[in-house]
A = this chain, B = another copy of it.
């Protein structure tokens, strides 16, 4: 978009286009050079000849890190003219640098760096989902005030899957109805393990921690907060709405038990932690529901077939009906590849002009309608189905099915009720009612059914 153009057409037809003679070389300042940053450096190095052959001229001129003498970093840049610094301003104040790549993470210093770079008309590429999701409106305004700046954030959602570019460039003529995705590899690994091995939540969490997939404090993954920011970003791209991540109703996987997979299997389904943004009311197409929750997914759905640490985003739309994008959600090279894609597209001048989708008139309606799965843990006795049925009726919910696996311990029985299409708020009422029944041992667990 920022090509220096010469040879404008000399004749009077309206259809001749300027010929590109020169693309300005990208001179990059990199903030943060850990796992992903190192990967970006290596990709640009190993693919240098090919990139040159397709006219991509991009070099990492400076790297800003906390510790400039870290041996891996020194080894990485050896033989290159890249300068290492510990001062942000060494990059920000360098007028020869026309693009920054922010891989520091966080929303304090990273925000400062990104905002200052835009103010200085430097292009910005970032992998920072928290920054993009939490400061979307400000970012958008700042970018509008600096129209020559391009903003790439492919790596902020689902590592190696080009989902952001795809939503930016392949759905303009389409109307998206639903975006639903497995966007956290750690929890997908855990849920897949619980399903295939019948292991407990606690056991798979420990395994994931031992493998380095899950943090010592696993909350960001298992409580769904990681997915919150990602679905907020995709909701903007799909529906043009800005949603503060913290306002998104979010349920993690901590209450899922091995027994839930047994019931899911009875229903030819599995359980996946999904971020969902959808038009959920056919009578009000501009009502968008956004939530993060473990969801009962039919095995026949492409999302249900995505196991292990993979990610998938499924897009339902008017024209394309269904499109799914599957890949690695994290990791050094998948994520670095997405950063490199942003760099290459920028160097080629083929970045979609608007980083964020145009704002559309939508309302957020989180009391969405759907079918639900509810697991109720009880001490067995008489009249239980009747009493549960009464609570459903009081809440105005029609029950679709009642499932009961063979009882092993009468004092500790899990059975499952599935509902017809109803409102989430009614399910809350029903769950509250059931929780108060004398034979119920804990608050019922309920999950939407995809």
Contact = CB atoms under 8 A, between A and B. Distances in A.
Nearest to A94: B15
A51 B4 CA distance: 26
Nearest to A16: B121
Contacts of A25: 14
A175 B47 CA distance: 9
Contact of A160 (B2, B172, B321, B344): B321
A147 B98 contact: no
Interface in A7-52: 8, 13-20, 24-25, 27, 39, 43-44, 47, 50-51
A339 to B, nearest CB: 9
A109 interface: no
Contacts of A53: 358
A44 B44 CA distance: 39
B319 A172 contact: no
Contacts of A55: 353
Interface stretch (A287-295, A329-337, A398-406): A329-337
A279 interface: no
A358 B50 contact: yes
Contacts of A95: 13-15
B334 A319 contact: yes
A412 interface: no
A161 B353 contact: no
Contacts of A43: 173-174, 319
A323 B333 contact: no
Interface in A318-372: 318-328, 331, 333-334, 336-338, 340-341, 343-345, 348-354, 358
A53 B74 CA distance: 48
Nearest to A314: B326
A173 B344 contact: yes
Question: Which bracket fits the contact residues of A?
Answer: 35 or more
Contacts of A18: 2-5, 148
B160 A54 contact: no
Contacts of A350: 1, 169, 350-353
Query: For A16, A20, A98, A169, which residue has the most chain B Cβ atoms within 10 angstroms?
Result: A169
Contact of A166 (B162, B307, B337, B338): B162
Contacts of A331: 321
A281 interface: no
A170 interface: yes
A113 to B, nearest CB: 17
Interface in A139-196: 147-148, 160-162, 165-166, 169-170, 172-175
A17 B15 CA distance: 24
A1 B349 contact: yes
A122 interface: yes
A160 B17 CA distance: 29
A258 interface: no
A131 interface: no
A306 interface: yes
A254 interface: no
A324 B321 contact: no
Given A24-B15, A305-B305, A350-B351, A173 B44 contact: yes
A302 interface: yes
Contacts of A430: none
A54 to B, nearest CB: 5
A222 interface: no
A434 interface: no
A2 B17 contact: yes
A310 B324 CA distance: 11
A337 B317 CA distance: 11
Contacts of A320: 160, 327-328, 333-334, 337
A96 interface: yes
Contacts of A60: none
Contact of A173 (B148, B166, B327, B337): B337
A55 B357 CA distance: 12
10 contacts: A3-B5, A3-B18, A13-B96, A16-B98, A17-B24, A47-B174, A166-B166, A169-B345, A310-B322, A326-B326
Given A320-B337, A350-B352, 7 more contacts: A17-B98, A160-B323, A161-B323, A162-B169, A173-B337, A174-B340, A323-B327
